[in-house]
Homo-oligomer: A and B are copies of this chain.
Amino acid sequence: MSHSLHQSLAARGYRLTAARRAILDTLLDSGGHLTADELTDLVRGRSAGIGRMTVYRTLELLCGLGLLRPVYQGTGAAHYVLMHDGHHHHLVCSGCGRVIEFDECALGDLPARIAGRYGFRVEGHLLELYGVCVECS
């Protein structure tokens, strides 16, 4: 499990450097939902001397491979979420801005229907539900 990201990189011919290893490990341990800066700080706590740009570039690389996804949670910096098993599901509260993850995947045969209709091969997805959480009701 903690090797899937590393192997995904290696398998595509990308080098597994110390910096990338630290970034990947931090991402996996943190569970996602981090900005680039938050991630940089965490990475540096684990392995000093890693530059902000290396973090940015690694994030960009992972996004290009479909393993990570930037989401815009209102204001400020982009948050990056891991696409565990190719998908990710959010509940976003309009009141307090809180983000809750949930696992239930209700897509059914939609990917197959999309493939049939648009010739589009679906590899992953992000579903965000917007509304109001219990506390904000």
Contact = CB atoms under 8 A, between A and B. Distances in A.
**For the complex, would chain A's binding face be called helix, strand, loop or mixed by DSSP majority?**
mixed
B127 A127 contact: yes
Contact of A119 (B125, B129, B134): B134
A49 interface: no
A137 B70 CA distance: 24
Nearest to A126: B128
Given A106-B106, A118-B133, A94 B123 contact: yes
Interface in A96-129: 100, 102, 104, 106-108, 110-111, 113-114, 117-129
Interface residues on A, range: 35 or more
A130 B125 contact: yes
Nearest to A105: B110
B106 A110 contact: yes
Contacts of A94: 64, 66, 123
A28 interface: no
Given A106-B108, A119-B134, 8 more contacts: A91-B118, A93-B120, A94-B123, A102-B117, A114-B129, A118-B133, A123-B131, A126-B126
Interface of A: 63-64, 66, 69-72, 74, 78, 83, 91, 93-94, 100, 102, 104, 106-108, 110-111, 113-114, 117-134, 137
